[in-house]
Amino acid sequence: MKKFFSVLMFLALLLPLSSCDNDPADFPIYDFSPVEFYIAISDGQGNQLLAPEYAGNIVGSAITISEGSKVYEVDWTAHDVQSRYYFPRFYGAQYRPVIKWDGHQHYESDEWRIHFGELDGGDDYDRTFKVTVQDKSFELRVTNSLTWKKDKPIIDRHFYLDGNEQSDSFFDLVLE
């Protein structure tokens, strides 16, 4: 009986291997990173106004991000933890710590930002958002373009602050 179960287990382990199809004509599945941008706010002296430990912080104040007639207010409540795989989901503007990588794992740093997103990384768009902080406005623009070359995706993504292209999706807004 033990030999029968051993043969049965061996055949059960071979079943997934025999069902694999390595046909190069199959179309691969791509997972496009969702688009988010991150906003830091400081004053003219370099004080980080989103840092909870800074006595003059503006955490909880009225900050809006708008696109046309749509207005998003910052969610100042605790952020939620995401799983590794998920479809882009639009959560609007949230106050959260910056997630960093130490070479082994991700961790929450003591830096805080307003996170805005998620926009679908697989769509084409050119979107402009107006951020209003203490009666001062900033214009944030995000462009995303997806093209295919030899069955591989090419993503062209750009971020602009008041018309000036940024090197990444981190925006530093300075109140003076």
| Alpha-carbon distances of 136 from 5, 11, 40, rounded to whole Å | 73, 69, 14
* Confidence check: pLDDT of 169 > 70: yes
* Confidence check: pLDDT of 9 > 80: no
pLDDT by residue (tens digit) across 38-56? 888 999 888 999 888 888 9
At 140, the pLDDT band (50, 70, 90 cuts) reads very high
Higher pLDDT, 114 or 176: 114
β pairing state of 106-119 and 125-133: unpaired
DSSP assignment of 10-38: HHHHHHHHHT----TTSPPP--PPPEEEE
Give the per-residue pLDDT at 74.
87
Give the whole-number percent of the chain exceeding pLDDT 90: 20
Q: Please tell me whether residue 91 adopts helix, strand or coil conformation.
A: coil
* Confidence check: pLDDT of 34 > 90: no
| Domain boundaries along the sequence of the chain | 26-81+89-173
In sequence order, the β-bridge partners of residue 128 are 141
Highest mean pLDDT among 3-7, 70-74, 129-133: 129-133
Higher pLDDT, 10 or 115: 115
* Confidence check: pLDDT of 111 > 80: yes
Give the per-residue pLDDT at 141.
95
- Residue linked to tokens 């926009």: 119
pLDDT, the chain, mean: 82
* Confidence check: pLDDT of 21 > 70: no
Mean pLDDT of 116-131: 91
